[in-house]
Amino acid sequence: MLSNMYWTQAGSVMATIMFIYTMFMRLVPSTLQTRIGRYSKKFSSFVYPYIRITFHEYTGERLMKSEAYTAIQTYLSEHSSQLATKLKAEATKVKDTSIPLILSMDDNEEIIEEFQGVKVWWGAHKITSKTQSFSLHPSYSDDKRYYKLTFHKRYRSLITESYLKHVLEEAKAIEMKNRQLKLYTNTKTKWSHVILEHPATFETLAMRSKEKEDIINDLVKFKSGKSYYAKIGKAWKRGYLLYGPPGTGKSTMIVAMANFMNYDVYDLELTAVKNNSDLRKLLINTSSKSIIVIEDIDCSLDLTGQRKKKIEKVERGEGEGSMKRDDEDDEDRGSKVTLSGLLNVVDGIWSACGGERIMVFTTNFVEKIDPALIRRGRMDKHIELSYCCYEAFKVLAKNYLDIESHHLFPKIEKLLEETKMTPADVAENLMPKSVDEEVETCLHSLIQALEKFKKDAEKKKAGTERKQSNMQESKGIEKHGEGVEANVIH
């Protein structure tokens, strides 16, 4: 009964409002309507002189995560832990293990910060949906989260121009600092990744310091070369060819490069890629700030005579078009990636999709590689990784035994000059076999291994020399025999 009365009253109020509104729109001239609107706005802004900007987590119908929201989240997680009273904690794998948790503002929490003496309010909000939907999107939930920024209207231009720019820039810097590097591997056309947590750095890389410095300088120059590359009209990419025997540190150097540059690594397994168009798809789907690696390039490409001829044609400039048709034929026959396809990608594909990419090819047999693939301009820097020298050994001794000098070092230096042992083998012999193994024992075990290597190499050398002289001898006998026969005939 009571509720009936309530509904009747509410209905009549609504009807009255609608009536007044309709009369207002009909009878009051439009100029007066605008003026009244302006005054009412002024009145409300006088009562509430603040501006609010909201940043929603998802934008558009395709549920794309908003970049602005992510950036603000990063920015606030750094600032809110000092200011907010309600925080939420998430586990993280940031490199600095002294910060095992990321703290950020909890839902419905607000913080106040100052920018150039002006106060701004940040609020983290959530709208919980009453209806449950089942989304396949892994990170999507029914809750709609957003950040709300509030500031006095007097500072509109300061906040919208300078402050928001500052927030985005700082978020980028924080992201770079806390970035977890990823190691991507490919199937036919897709990349999947794991977190790259390899500790190799240039400091732990065993090689001559002069060569190391040279590579570091080259990387630094590349990283800061955005405007230079734009000026000369080249894609912002650089190619490195790493060559040398197995176990000399080619893969280790790639990780050191990634850690130094803070770049992800895409380990491209060419033999898993069906054809050139799949290769293109894969490479277009790599992100900026990354190293794309093709290991053992000499084993990854099927270079039949036919294909080699095609490359030679292209290199002589006899028609890109004809090459493309040949490639399409290859693809129709379901063949693997061709050298020409790879060359196309290395040369130009990234010009279209932004820069800052490094391409690394590795090989154990540099002489086997088609010169077209590694000419300067494609592979800008050729780096040889070789057998362990004394300088490289000292780096390994520091890494594995934490020593910089020892009375056995001169003996090791001499043996390293007389034999060829890879850094991988030196490292293996240096490594303590038990927790309490003494430094001296480790060094002795390396000396023994080096002496054995030397002896084996000498034996091998003597063996091949003997073989060669036997062959020469038998050739000489044959020749002599032929001569005798010839004499008989004549």
Ligand X SMILES: Nc1ncnc2c1ncn2[C@@H]1O[C@H](COP(=O)(O)OP(=O)(O)OP(=O)(O)O)[C@@H](O)[C@H]1O
The contact mask relative to ligand X for 268-307 (x = CB under 6 A, - = no) is ----------------------------------------
Residue 68 CB contacts under 8 Å (≥ 6 apart), including other chains: 55, 168
- Residue 122 bridge partners (DSSP): 111, 149
Q: Of 116, 112, 128, 125, which is closest to residue 50 (Cα–Cα)?
A: 112
CB 470 → ligand X: shortest distance, Å?
A: 34
Name every residue whose Cβ is closer than 8 Å to that of residue 112 and which is 6 or more positions away in sequence: 83, 119, 120, 121, 122
**Distance of closest approach, residue 282 Cβ to ligand X, in angstroms:** 21
Please list every residue from 222 through 261 that binds ligand X, using CB under 6 A.
246-252
Q: Which residue is nearest to ligand X, using beta carbons? A: 249
Q: Which amino acid is at 89?
A: A
CB of 256 to ligand X, least distance (A): 8
Distance, in Å, from the CA atom of 180 to the CA atom of 116, rounded to the nearest integer, reads 32
427, 443, 449, 450: which one contacts ligand X (CB under 6 A)?
427
Residue of 239, 338, 397, 423 interacting with ligand X (CB under 6 A): 423
For ligand X, the closer of residues 235 and 385 by Cβ is 385
Closer CB to ligand X, residue 247 or residue 341? 247
Q: Which is nearer to ligand X, 427 or 450 (CB)?
A: 427
* Near ligand X in 390-409, by CB under 6 A: none
Q: Over the range 395-413, which residues count as b (16 or more CB within 10 Å of their CB) and which as e? A: bbbebbbeeeeeebbebbe
Instruction: Provide the minimum distance between the beta carbon of 186 and ligand X in the complex, in angstroms, as a whole number.
Output: 18
Strands in 2-100 per DSSP E? 50-56, 58-59, 64-65, 87-91
User: Considering beta carbons, is residue 243 or 350 the nearer one to ligand X?
Assistant: 243
Provide the angle, in degrees to the nearest 10, between the axes of the packed helices 209-223 and 250-261: 40
Instruction: Return the bridge partners of 62, or none.
Output: none
Smallest distance from ligand X to CB 75, Å: 38
- Return the biggest CA–CA distance within the chain: 141
Question: Which residue's CB is nearer to ligand X, number 111 or number 181?
Answer: 181
* Residues near ligand X (CB under 6 A), total: 15
Length of the chain: 490
C-beta of 250 vs 357, nearer to ligand X:
250
**Binders in 183-222 for ligand X, by CB under 6 A:** 205-207
Residues that bind ligand X (CB under 6 A): 205-207, 246-252, 364, 385, 423-424, 427
